[in-house]
Amino acid sequence: GENVEQHPSTLSVQEGDSAVIKCTYSDSASNYFPWYKQELGKRPQLIIDIRSNVGEKKDQRIAVTLNKTAKHFSLHITETQPEDSAVYFCAAAMNSGYSTLTFGKGTMLLVSP
Amino acid sequence: DADVTQTPRNRITKTGKRIMLECSQTKGHDRMYWYRQDPGLGLRLIYYSFDVKDINKGEISDGYSVSRQAQAKFSLSLESAIPNQTALYFCATAYGDTQYFGPGTRLTVL
């Protein structure tokens, strides 16, 4: 089955800095890659996703890049703010819709004022 | 997201007890999932259901069972709870590519 590795496990940055979280996947058939954000004590929520036919996707301060050849994808957060502090999970699925997500172990991002 | 609810929100039980965690949704979604979250291990899939008559095992189904009573309800049971089942449990629904998580149930098995 699919295996998703996520790094780093913790990331501390100063407010205003950029943060990058990286994930690798094992199954070349995977073609859908979402990112979920989980604030302390809250439920995970989808923040951005990318499909294998796209190399990059942006939404305001967050962006995701995908390298299909290397089987890795990354989350980029620019101009970090304290409210970006959370655990971020990457995931992969073979087909969007009627398939299951395999999640990475998560990255705890701490943004200091 | 009040559309996906879980009961109870917290539960402390003893080894060997039978426990049921319930999930209800008002979103009208066919697909429902049960995940377990442990520190440093991420979200791991226990069981999932693509419609009322469909039940599938996930990555870590041993020691768990589920029931899909209706489109809106998906219950997770621990037949004989053990301490290493202490974790945060999330139910989720899905529409399109997006999964919508419930608020979670924190289960402690003593």
pLDDT one-digit tens code per residue, B36-63: 999 889 999 999 999 999 999 999 999 9
In this complex, how many residue pairs, one in chain A and one in chain B, have their CB atoms less than 8 Å apart?
A: 47
- Give the model confidence (pLDDT) of A49-106 as tens digits: 999 888 999 999 999 999 999 999 999 999 999 999 999 999 999 875 677 999 999 9
The answer to whether the CB atoms of A98 and B103 lie below 8 A apart is no
The answer to whether the CB atoms of B50 and A98 lie below 8 A apart is yes
Distance from CA of A46 to the nearest CA of B (A): 7
B54 touches chain A (CB under 8 A): no
Distance from CA of B5 to the nearest CA of A (A): 11
Please give the average per-residue pLDDT across B11-22, as a whole number. Answer: 98
Distance from CA of A100 to the nearest CA of B (A): 8
Of A43, A49, A105, the CB nearest to B101: A43
**Which residues are A65's β-sheet partners?**
A56, A74
Please give the average per-residue pLDDT across B17-34, as a whole number. Answer: 96
The answer to whether the CB atoms of B45 and A101 lie below 8 A apart is yes
Spatial contact of B5 and B102, defined as CB atoms under 8 Å apart:
yes
Task: Compare all CA atoms of chain B with the CA of A92 and give the residue at the minimum distance.
Answer: B97
Alpha-carbon distance B30 to B59, whole Å? 21
**Which residues are A75's β-sheet partners?**
A21, A64
Spatial contact of B19 and B76, defined as CB atoms under 8 Å apart:
no
Structure tokens, A43: 């439920």
